[in-house]
Structure 1
């Protein structure tokens, strides 16, 4: 039971980090800071808190957190594969490098689960943000491929996640939903 609690807290902290960093990349922070004093205060100290939360989550669940974080980065860069990044590599080169690092350092079943789980979360997020993303021109897989296709793909990914680890699936998805709920209340 303690092991599951540690994993839940580690993944929850990681989810907060991913959500905060995603705002910077997507440019969503501007809207939130106009309406939320809490978010505005948090955004001012985002970097140190992200580093602290990421460090704590890595202590609690090293391989899974590392793999979830790098998979979120990989999938986040998927829409811009030719973009040149600060390390003077193109996005697809960084993505390939991170996949190789995961394959070398993380057990394959953990990396596979992490990649599928993050892709599932991305698809669910795109389903929930379909109208907003269409209105403001953000990249969204539902708008690119269709609602039915994304629902079918999400269902398949959910089954794969459950087959790989039902415990991790419940933890990762519940953390994702909790973070999105709390974030919407800021």
Structure 2
């Protein structure tokens, strides 16, 4: 049991690192780290091979959940730009629909629903923490769009849903997310 939880935690931690690195790249959010941290410069210089390695390792450790977490992060990342045309010549909403269909057909529904709910919860928590920064620099943020009280209420509902779906996975995903953000703030 403990070995299974450890395996799942490492897989989710690795995919969380991949999501964080790619999110920064897509958002072009450097937060001046490149001037202050050699670790950050090294990571960004070799981002692609490390992301591929971490993605591969995490898929070996926890296939369905990692795939679903990654694709849900991709979908939720495009919520603010549904009409944007992407490199595959599809609009963002079309790619989101395609990924949802792939998840529905190939991933157990409870895992997909948990992954989507937990990634949305993490996004809302991140938006709560980054409210002032995102407002100052013009980044899209659900708190700035809908209000702090509304996002806290929705986040509470999402947390309850996550706990109802899988208490263990919720603790692993949220603790991994907080740990990645903590490490990221230290580099």
What range is the shorter-chain TM-score in? over 0.9
* Paired position in structure 1 for 2:95: 94
Correspondence 1:141-156 to 2 at 5 A: 141-156=142-157
- TM-score normalized by the length of structure 2: 0.98
- Cα offset, 1:35, TM superposition: 1.7
State the aligned residue count: 186
Correspondence 1:14-163 to 2 at 5 A: 14-29=15-30, 31-163=32-164
- Cα offset, 1:58, TM superposition: 0.2
- Cα offset, 1:36, TM superposition: 1.2
- Cα offset, 1:32, TM superposition: 1.8
Q: Which runs of 5+ in 2 are unaligned?
A: none
* Paired position in structure 2 for 1:6: 7
Q: In 2, distance between residues paired with 1:175 and 1:62?
A: 17
Q: In 2, distance between residues paired with 1:7 and 1:23?
A: 24
- Cα offset, 1:105, TM superposition: 0.2
- Cα offset, 1:30, TM superposition: 6.3
Q: In 2, distance between residues paired with 1:29 and 1:147?
A: 25
- Cα offset, 1:37, TM superposition: 1.1
- Cα offset, 1:42, TM superposition: 1.1
Q: In 1, distance between residues paired with 2:159 and 2:120?
A: 10
Q: In 2, distance between residues paired with 1:35 and 1:71?
A: 32
Q: Which runs of 5+ in 1 are unaligned?
A: none
Poorly superposed stretches of 4+, deviation over 3 Å? none
- Cα offset, 1:122, TM superposition: 0.2
Local SS of the residue matching 1:48: helix
Judged with a 3 Å threshold, the aligned counterparts in structure 2 of structure 1 residues 30 and 174 are, in CA distance, closer, same or farther, namely: closer
Q: In 2, distance between residues paired with 1:89 and 1:35?
A: 38
